[in-house]
Structure 1
Amino acid sequence: MSELKALGALDSFFKNEWQRKVPDAVVAAASEISKKYGSAVNGVLFYGSCLRTGEIEDKILDFYIIVDSYKSAYPKKWLAVANKLIPPNVFYHEMQHEGVTVRSKYAVLSLGDLEYRCSPKCLNVSVWARFCQPCILLQPENENVEGRIRQAIANAAQTMIGHVLPQCRTTRASKDLWVSAFEHTYASELRSEPEGKGLEIYSLDQERYDQLTPLLLKALNAEKPERGDKQLSRMPVFKNSFMWFLRRANGKFVSVARLIKASLTFDGGIDYLAWKIGRHSGVEIEVTDRMRKRPVMSGVTLFWNLRRKGAFK
């Protein structure tokens, strides 16, 4: 009964978190993107820096479009196959809302894949590490689907903390757990983050993580830290360290595979690249229809031309 009570409290935490109001531009973007996938859409998860800050202009929104199946989501079979083999597929979207250009990057993931990739069974960290952070569900198909997605998000947070507990066996301090968890997951993806990134992510929503931690520890039945005496077997620690080694290896490999796949599936990628480079370097790029038709070749040519102009080193 106590376990059910702990899980119920965890569910209530995320249910309350999803009551947060988001800007109208976010709702409009989510709605327009959803129309591309029609009745296949189960819901839209909004997450990322724009959720934390509420800033939209000159930013890019982050969404996950949750669908019932890839077959029903795509008219082109090869896109469905690509999404199933190496999820998710990622796309770029632009729209005008009240005179402001609203840019979005969104990924497509099936509800079944979301549930699996938020669970402890999933070796790859990318989905459960992302959704243990703040997110909001928009446009749920119905209450049953909303409940399943909320359960997946709760599982993501449990997976995150559950996997790092053996590495922090003498402490249950919220800061220690989350900073360690973020550092482990960032090291398991193909990205270059400065030292202290884990602390930065925790600090951005410290109150939220501090409220969530005791709920997770109760749900995991891990409220009391283990003590590092000589009688305590170190095998769980060794096993957990080995599993993190496997997660890092898997994360690097999958990240490269996703980059290769994105060169073929990232619809609108050349527009996103042009905007991103212009925003950070000040070098303006005119994207032509020819470039959109041949994004891979155009991307290579664009790279060398921009390097000569000093857009990056």
Structure 2
Amino acid sequence: MHSLQQLIAEELGVAVQPRINSFAAYIAAQYPGAARAVLFYGSCLRSEELEGQMLDFYLIVSDYEAAYGKSWLAKWNRRLPPNVFPFQHDGLVAKVAVLSEKDFHDLNRPGASAVSVWARFAQPARLVWVSDDIAARAASMAIAGAAPTLLNAALAHMAHVDSIIDLWELGFAMTYSAELRAERSDRPASVVQFDPDRYRAFGKAALLHTPILNELRADGSVHLLPDPEARALAERERWPALRRRGKMLTVARLAKAAFTYSGGIDYLAWKINRHAGTQIEIKPWQRKWPLVAALVLVPKLWVKGAVR
């Protein structure tokens, strides 16, 4: 069986369409001296459809001052990571999240204050631009924390596990519940079912790094340590806090994006319409006052069930 680090390095190195590499190089070029790595992930990676889609990248930088200079952007990227910016290149559009190498490492681990980074990087990603071998190893090591963090969280909520696939699906369902999401309720399962063999292989490797695991059997079933008190504590305290914080952070990031992300309110509407089947149209006043619009729109959609 391959180690988790081997699996991650191999997956990060899988080739992508040349336009994605070109886009990543363009993103990195906007941050000379600071860019360390660009990662491509998300629904467009799974579908390989680029035209008319919003691509998802993470830009990893050495530090925020190197990326922005001594500006308010550096301060808010540190206080409320990540900053997210729109990019266009070669007829494609993307949103780019910016994190420092330190934050990227820390936010992929159990001590992270929110689930958003490790929930995403427990899923497939590609390293589509990198400054050097040291940056490549740092990105791979950071991502190595994501899958064990997700699976250990799921293990803490299960008395018995029949399959690794069930464990992944529970883990993603939990992380989706810890953010304001526009996706339908079957989205977590569909992510896993898109490539179940990948999740079985990564699951077996990642479970060796989870403290709740006692035994991974040959048939793929999991035997848990008899520690119901610790699991109850996780369920009673950690996840309700993560859910509350995650939803509040979503609103806070929307507010921040009103200043950093041109057209952010239109992207919000596009994202919700795409995943929830709604027909939201942004009015002129909402574009003029995107912060007010976001703070009014999101609670209404939450009540209607368009986001959860």
- Identical counterparts, % of pairs: 36
1:29-108 to 2 correspondence within 5 Å? 29-75=23-69, 77-95=71-89, 97=90, 101-108=91-98
- SS for the counterpart of 1:139 is strand
Q: Which residue of 2 aligns with 1:251?
A: 246
Deviation at 1:91, TM superposition (A): 0.8
Alpha-carbon distance between aligned partners in 1 of 2:52 and 2:12, rounded to the nearest angstrom? 25
> What amino acid sits opposite 1:251 in the alignment?
G
Bigger shift: residues 182-191 or 28-37: 28-37
Question: Taking structure 1 as reference, are residues 28 and 149 closer, same or farther at Cα in structure 2, changes over 3 Å only?
Answer: same
- Of the three residues 136, 156, 160, the one matched with 2:126 is 136
Partner of 2:264: 269
Counterparts in 2 of 1:1-313, with a 5 A limit? 9-75=3-69, 77-95=71-89, 97=90, 101-171=91-161, 173-220=163-210, 222=213, 223-224=215-216, 225-226=222-223, 232-242=226-236, 243-269=238-264, 272=267, 296=290
**Counterparts in 2 of 1:283 and 1:161: CA distance versus 1, 3 Å:** closer
Equivalenced residue count is 286
Q: Specify the code of the residue in structure 2 equivalent to 1:35.
A: A
Listed as ranges, the gaps of 5+ residues in structure 1 are 1-5, 304-311
User: Which structure is larger by alpha-carbon Rg, 1 or 2?
Assistant: 1
Higher helix fraction (1 or 2): 1
Is the Cα contact below 8 Å between 2:20 and 2:128 reproduced in 1? Answer: no
Aligned counterparts of 2:172 and 2:179: Cα–Cα separation in 1: 11
Give the Cα separation in 2 of the matches to 1:115 and 1:197: 26
User: Are the structure 2 counterparts of residues 271 and 283 from structure 1 closer, same or farther at C-alpha, using a change threshold of 3 Å?
Assistant: closer
Amino acid at match of 1:105: K
- Note closer, same or farther for the CA distance 1:169–1:264 as it changes in structure 2 (3 Å cut): same
TM-score after normalising by structure 1: 0.81
> Residues 202 and 209 of structure 1 are in contact (CA less than 8 Å); yes or no, is this contact kept in structure 2?
yes
Unaligned runs of 5+ in 2: 217-221, 298-305
Over 3 Å counting, the alpha-carbon distance change for 1:206 and 1:43 in structure 2 is: same
- 1:257, 1:297 → 2: CA distance? 10
Q: Alpha-carbon deviations, 1:238-283, whole Å to 9, x = none?
A: 1110211111111111111111111111145367569779999999
SS in 1 for 2:85: strand
The AA in structure 2 aligned to 1:174 is I
CA contact (8 A) 1:92 1:272 kept: no
What is the alpha-carbon distance in structure 2 between the residues aligned to residue 54 and residue 66 of structure 1?
23
Alignment match, 1:308? none
Q: Distance in 1 between matches of 2:160 and 2:93?
A: 44
Task: Give the direction of change, closer, same or farther, for the CA distance of 1:193–1:218 in structure 2 (3 Å limit).
Answer: same
TM normalised by structure 2 equals: 0.82
